Amino acid sequence: MLGGSSFQIYNASAGSGKTYQLTKNYLKIILGSSSFTPFRQILALTFTNKAVAEMKQRILDSLFTFSQTTDTPSSLFNEVSNDLNLAPNELQEKAKRLLKVLLHNYSYFEVSTIDKFNHKLIRTFAHDLKLEQNFEVELDQDLLLNQSVNRVLSKAGKDAQLTKALLDFSLEKIDNFNSWNITRDLVDIGKILFQENHAQALDELGDKKISEFTTAKNAVKKRMEAYGNRMVECANASLELMTANQLVPADFYQSWFPNFLQKVAAKDFDINFKAKWKQDLENATLYTKTTKDAIKQTIDGLRSSFVANFNSLKDAFTHYTFLAKAYRSFLPLTLINELRYELKQLQKEENLLSISEFNAIISKEIKNQPIPFIYERLGEKYRHYFIDEFQDTSIKQWQNLVPLIANALEGEDEQRQKGSLMLVGDVKQAIYRWRGGEALQFLELSNGRQQPFMVAPDFFRLNHNWRSYSTIVLFNNSFFTHIANKLGNSEYQELYKLGNQQLPNPKQGGMVHVQFLEEDKQAETHPHCLETLKQIQKLIAHGAAFTDICVLVRDNKKALLLADYLSQEHIPVVSSEALLLKSSPEVNFIIHLCYYLTGTDKQYHAFAMLEFLNGSSSLNHDDIVKKLHSFEGYLQENYQVDTNQLKWQGMLDVAELAIKRFKLAEESNAFLNFFVDSIFDFNKKQQGSVASFLDYWELKKDKLAIAAPEKTNAVQLMTVHKSKGLEFPFVISPFADTIINDAKKADNIWVPVNADTFQGFNSIMMKANESIAEYSPEVDAAYTKETHASELDDFNVLYVAMTRAVQGLFVICNTPKKASFSYASLLSDYVGQQPNFNAEQGCFILGDLPKGTTQAPFQDATMGIPYIYTTKTKYSFRHISAVAVDPDAMQTEAAQRGEILHAALAKITDITNVKLAVDWLNAQKQLTEAEKTFFKKQVDQVIYNKTLAPYFSESAVVWNEKDIISPSGKIYRPDRVVFLDEKATVIDYKTGTVSQKHEEQITSYAQILGQMGHIVEKSIIVYIDKEIKTTVI
């Protein structure tokens, strides 16, 4: 980095050209170097793959442009030429050579996400970290968490302490009028296991046992009860004074004071101290002007005692409230710690690392290694670092990079050249704190409070807004400067004042429209939907294309509401909801078919398939009854689909055959392509059976989606978080009513507590509620910090939303309620003082839509890609040798083999009717004689196995593959349940390797049988391979 300090910090507000600056500085380093491959010494880090692709493309495009002869070079070319003091022809030749070298050495072009770099680092040090060299990175944290929850629940009934904790948690949910089913709640509370801002506190919990949590919980309850008794004593003391002095409630102003005391004395602690008289009892009016003088004198004489008792009561209430919240926190903490243990065990068994663990592993194990040793192991020595979106960097991510960067900044290479660091960020766009981002780091580096290197930084502020038209830039400057004082933190106030002084670019004009609507909860169509449609229609009439318009909302619920409404009004929309695989009728048809094949609610799924195949309008009652009555024959006759054969196939084959036979992909269908890809991905990690995939589908159906198509003439509908870094000609922002620092959505924070008082716990997790702030100065500091951070989060989301527009910004919100602190109140407070505000219409309009600046008529150049079928027409084990190098195919073959054996064993109730299984196998035309012989031998090995033989006796009552419906409606289907001497034994057949999941599954069967009143004596897992192996649980 030429000129000035080698450590540069850029404060880049929205639209200020940070990518341009990053590209310029990168080009200056590689074009100013004498090295043949200077890019090998550069590491550029950002946070998303999309940002990586954009930065790489910008660098490559610039090098290509530089290498071309032109009479009018770009401003970037001129700036680099001047800064490097290179003649244009010399710069052109250098760019041409470097582009060629870079493309031939593309793997050394290190523009990367920070997670990818961390992965590379951990993979390099896998042996030192005692990790398997082939460890897998699990990106799907939800899947890991659900598996961990299932493992915890599978221990219910076996571990007495854990069982009690789960029951208490369930009862607590019922007391709060929620469902007793705690699976979802466990998943919700378990999400903090993957959040870096909770990691340190969770590590401090260590390996605490359930008994330790219980002991601490009981101790807190005892102290809480003591403070409750103290409150009653204080209330009774004042009430006794009233009685002793012959005072009655009517003697006090509106009886507020004695009524409050009586409520506390009755141990009703649902109270608060918000009333004005409670905040200053010493000076409050306790009686009316008409009260007799004698009574006035009596009350005034007792006032000091009343005040002393009241203050003691208030102090006791503060402690009681905090302890009550702490008491309620111990149960979730207990279960979180159990989930944490099971998560670690699961990862160990399956050789997995979660991506969220990378930063902690590097911090503990790698960061303190000698820097030359780290570089040697990496195979590269980086001298120049670029970090984009620094405000989203977590504390650990930054701390892990500091030693590497310090080595570059403070040392010299062989040519006695120092390294460099360029940080780019904007605290006003820090909207990922929930993901671990710590914007305060950027603030502290900028103001000099944090100085991690010997080299002092140069600080730059990118002052121009190159994105938006002048009206939008000037409005945002004025608006955000005006509302800055609403922030509770003075430093954040200054940040918003200084950061909103952007200079407009030459693009003059533009429009800002803020519309206030009256709330109408009874309206058939939400007023914000109507207003959004109105603004879209105006823009289209003005000459804009649908693709020029983006609608931004705060959450997915609002996105779904708008997507449904706009679609009904024939407005083409691309939204995250519309891109979900579950929104495809064809995908849903395959899912219905799969559920039908597993025997789950067959009538319902058969009807859904009929509706798809025939169209709901063409079905009458008689047709439905007729086709449902002979549904399998209908499928066989009309579509050549034999469900009896199909149900033994793997998920991939079922999907492929359904797509072909039902002609689901007559036209290009991206949803089906992505759906089949998701099956491939599933098969890589799990058994490829239909039932297993359906479990996966239920877990992932709200996330599995196709990639957003580019250049589609449709309104884009997305959340503000997804819009970060993007720009759109016109932005509409409805539902701009977010309450700032909403107490109902308060985050969990860890508050410091006395370890002696709390039985060895140094901190407790609880909601950031103002009622906890008075407990201690330390708790107050934690609460205040969270409050200020939450306010900044909400301001930043509003800032990001209002800085995406290029030509027109439209904001829609409700008329704010008095004393509210929301986006609507901030907008109302500002625009209400502007001359352009029309109070009667609740409308503020500034500027006009630019003329002649709308996009050219949209031309859809999308090309359809035909679906390629790969369905097998005949099942045979001979395929295995042909695909032995393909683990996915081998897994599918193993699953098919297991399913055929399952079907044969399902025909056998006892040893006398083995012939039924033999006959069934002989009837399978897709099997060769050798394969039939193989299966018959396997059947014999099972029924004559020493452990299993008693369960094939004639005296046994047997359920083979019988559906069992749980109280929640979930259907279970154990392979075999045997009743002997009024006791049940569950048997489940498995192929493949031993897995913890198999034990969890058979345990769930045993539990549901227990709920039905049966005594389950044993659960036996039968692993069928060349030899029969049994596991008795």
Residues in the chain: 1033
pLDDT band at 422 (very low <50, low <70, confident <90, very high): very high
- Position 710 scores a pLDDT of 67
> Which sign does the torsion angle of CA 762, 764, 770, 775 carry?
negative
- 288 among annotated binding-site residues: no
Structure tokens at 190: 């378990």
H or E, element range at 134: none
- Cα 322 from Cα 782, distance rounded (Å): 14
Average pLDDT, integer, range 963-970: 77
CB 44 within 8 A of CB 26: yes
- Position 875 scores a pLDDT of 40
Stronger pLDDT, 709 or 819, i.e. the higher one: 819
Average pLDDT, integer, range 537-556: 94
- 689 among annotated binding-site residues: no
pLDDT band at 895 (very low <50, low <70, confident <90, very high): low
- Position 861 scores a pLDDT of 47
Tens of pLDDT, residue by residue over 225-275, are: 999 999 999 999 999 999 999 999 999 999 999 999 999 999 999 999 989
Q: Same fold for the domain at 7-122+358-462 and the one at 481-578+713-748+775-848?
A: yes
| Across 79-93, 133-147, 299-313, least confident range | 133-147
- Position 3 scores a pLDDT of 60
CB 492 within 8 A of CB 44: no
Reduced 3-state DSSP string for 153-202: HHCCCCCHHHHHHHHHHHHHHHHCCCCCCCHHHHHHHHHHHHCHHHHHHH
Stronger pLDDT, 206 or 467, i.e. the higher one: 467
- 18 among annotated binding-site residues: yes
| Across 105-109, 321-325, 870-874, 964-968, least confident range | 870-874
Q: CA distances (Å), 311 to each of 228, 259, 285, 303, 318, in order?
A: 14, 17, 17, 12, 11
| Across 226-240, 464-478, 589-603, least confident range | 589-603
Above 80 in pLDDT, residue 570? Answer: yes
Q: How buried is residue 990: exposed, middle or buried, by Cβ count under 10 Å (0-12/13-18/19+)?
A: buried
H or E, element range at 693: helix 690-700
What separation, in Å, do the N-terminal and C-terminal C-alpha atoms of the chain show?
Answer: 66
Stronger pLDDT, 822 or 416, i.e. the higher one: 822
Contacts of residue 789, defined as CB under 8 A and 6 or more positions apart, other chains included, come to 433
- 15 among annotated binding-site residues: yes
Average pLDDT, integer, range 1008-1030: 87
CB 518 within 8 A of CB 681: no
- 425 among annotated binding-site residues: no
Contacts of residue 517, defined as CB under 8 A and 6 or more positions apart, other chains included, come to 527, 528, 531, 812, 813, 814, 815, 842
- 712 among annotated binding-site residues: no
**CATH number for the 886-1032 domain, one of 3.30.9.10, 3.40.50.300, 3.90.320.10, 3.30.9.100?**
3.90.320.10
pLDDT band at 873 (very low <50, low <70, confident <90, very high): very low
Tens of pLDDT, residue by residue over 87-127, are: 999 999 999 999 999 999 998 999 999 988 888 888 888 77
- Position 301 scores a pLDDT of 95
Above 70 in pLDDT, residue 893? Answer: no
Q: What residue segments make up the domains of the chain, in order of their start?
A: 7-122+358-462, 140-216+327-356, 224-321, 481-578+713-748+775-848, 582-700, 886-1032
- Cα 669 from Cα 428, distance rounded (Å): 41
Average pLDDT value for the chain: 87
pLDDT band at 881 (very low <50, low <70, confident <90, very high): very low
Contacts of residue 344, defined as CB under 8 A and 6 or more positions apart, other chains included, come to none
Output the CATH code of domain 481-578+713-748+775-848.
Answer: 3.40.50.300
Average pLDDT, integer, range 794-810: 97
Average pLDDT, integer, range 220-224: 96
Stronger pLDDT, 864 or 273, i.e. the higher one: 273
- 406 among annotated binding-site residues: no
Above 70 in pLDDT, residue 367? Answer: no
**CATH number for the 7-122+358-462 domain, one of 3.30.300.30, 3.30.390.30, 2.10.109.10, 3.40.50.300?**
3.40.50.300
- Position 1025 scores a pLDDT of 76
pLDDT band at 866 (very low <50, low <70, confident <90, very high): low
- 13 among annotated binding-site residues: yes
- Position 619 scores a pLDDT of 61
Q: What is the pTM of this model?
A: 0.80
pLDDT band at 433 (very low <50, low <70, confident <90, very high): confident
- Position 646 scores a pLDDT of 87
